[in-house]
Amino acid sequence: MTTASATADLGDLVRDLALANRMLTQEGVLDAFGHVSVRHPEDPGRFLISVSKAPINVRAEDIIVCDLDARPVEPTDRRVYSEGVIHSEIYRARPDVNAVCHHHAAAIMPFCLSRERLVPVNQLGAVIGEEAPFWDSQDEFGDTNLLLVRPEEGASLARALGPHWVVLMRRHGATVVGRSLKEMFFRAVHSTANAGVQLAARALGPVESLTPGEIALASRLRPDPIERQWLYSLTRRIEAVGPERA
């Protein structure tokens, strides 16, 4: 790859990362809080993430590069997310992960406040896997303000995530990962939607998870549905705010 093409590819990824912040807000996954990152395509020991601001306001010029200690590679006087260790420690622990989203979606929160298991209850919900593991900061750290700001807290979360794609965080939110930015986007949207459906179905009676065999088959993500979801969300964003602001 030439230097020019590598620069262009990095520029496209920066643009898409900023766009993912805004589209995940449009989809109800992010709100004023939460953050999204992607591993640097040329250096697996670094990742791209926005400076600290509401995701709906993130633009390409807000994206910075951080190392696996969650520190900006280049000095900046702009505030960075205090929970960068969520991203850095997952990238350190999971070489297969290339994108991370931490969020507090309303549909997910009931599962973070109870011991009700979040399980796939429909075909698209299979992106969760057989179930989402549950991480409780009390187990290792006792009373905290529930933010993950220390490397050991991020490492603990990464251990709880293990080989899974979604981890619930007690009284806090969820973290979703993927092998690419668009795959993570797909998982974030549909794990959140599954949570809403599962919660609503509980009002009608017991809810059954997909079988292990169904999960194994339905969770085999192909590029076409991932791209379809991305373009659908982009279209929704454009129709909501116009192409110039999308």
Secondary structure letter of residue 178 according to DSSP = E
User: Active site includes 153?
Assistant: no
Which amino acid is present at 103? H
Is 232 in a helix, a strand, or coil? helix
Q: Which H helix or E strand runs over 154?
A: helix 151-161
Task: Tell me which amino acid residue 3 is.
Answer: T
Task: For residue 74, give every residue at least 6 positions away whose Cβ sits within 8 Å of its Cβ, in sequence order, or none.
Answer: 64, 65
In angstroms, rounded to a whole number, what is the distance separating the alpha carbons of residues 57 and 187? 22
Q: Which of 27, 83, 89, 153 is catalytic?
A: 83
Question: What residues does 183 pair with on adjacent strands?
Answer: none
With CA atoms as reference, report the closest residue to 174 among 131, 231, 124, 130. Answer: 131
Distance CA 235, CA 111 (A): 30
The three-point CA angle 204-206-208 to 5° equals 115
Tell me which residues are annotated as active site: 83
